[in-house]
Amino acid sequence: GAGVSQTPSNKVTEKGKYVELRCDPISGHTALYWYRQSLGQGPEFLIYFQGTGAADDSGLPNDRFFAVRPEGSVSTLKIQRTERGDSAVYLCASSVSGRAGEQYFGPGTRLTVT
Amino acid sequence: GNSVTQMEGPVTLSEEAFLTINCTYTATGYPSLFWYVQYPGEGLQLLLKATKADDKGSNKGFEATYRKETTSFHLEKGSVQVSDSAVYFCALSDRNDYKLSFGAGTTVTVRA
């Protein structure tokens, strides 16, 4: 079946602009996660959704970052007033149970802020 | 807090060589431990896992044993192939948690 998909695969934006990154989880997966992977580093947790609600957003670095999942399926990560330090690969994952280790990852969106 | 430290790369090997990637962790309680792999152009995939001390995870010829006494989860494969070229990430989660904490990753290149 279809895996987790993310769009766009690449996004280049200018400093100060607003961007939206989209994640389509595997059908039926109620849990959804966003991670950020900077160059040469492992992924870092940003936010976890169970259904429509954000169960844990403790990894969001500041209030410029926001994520929604209004219908409990597709999620959008929104970044306002982008900074060069936001450049990274943004990964989305989904799972049935919410348990770590049962997360299926998407291919990521590479964000470059110039 | 939780943290994972893994062997720095890159690692370059010849086909059929033995591979070890060291991983140690710091965590409260009794974490679950994982190895994820990222093949070129693909997303992260779970390679193997272990959920309690002395458990051995295995998959595709790779093995790792959960060593509580040394807080380690080293990845091994006895005979690597060119197709094993990838970035390998060690990770953990608290037993009652859903968040993965990753190491920095180790790039492995296997030459024919």
Task: Decide if B43 and A44 are in contact by the 8 Å CB cutoff.
Answer: no
Give B35-70 as a DSSP string. Answer: EEEE-TTS--EEEEEE-STT-EEEETTEEEE-BTTT
Measure CB to CB from residue B98 to each of A3, A4, A99 and give the nearest one: A99
Calculate mean pLDDT across residues A66-75: 96
Select from A42, A59, A106 the Cβ nearest to the Cβ of B105.
Answer: A42
- Residues B76/B20, Cβ–Cβ less than 8 Å: yes
Residue A8 pLDDT greater than 60, yes or no: yes
Q: Are A28 and A96 in contact (CB under 8 A)?
A: yes
Contact B73, B13 (CB under 8 A): no
CA-based Rg of chain B, rounded to a whole angstrom? 13
Neighbours of A5 (CB within 10 A): 16
Which residue of chain A has the CA closest to B103?
A42
- Residues B57-104 have pLDDT tens digits of 999 999 999 999 999 999 999 999 999 999 999 999 986 678 899 999
Distances in Å between the alpha carbon of A19 and those of A13, A84, A87?
Answer: 8, 13, 12
Give residue-wise pLDDT tens across range A22-60.
999 999 999 999 999 999 899 999 999 999 999 899 999
| Per-residue pLDDT tens digits for B22-32 | 999 999 888 99
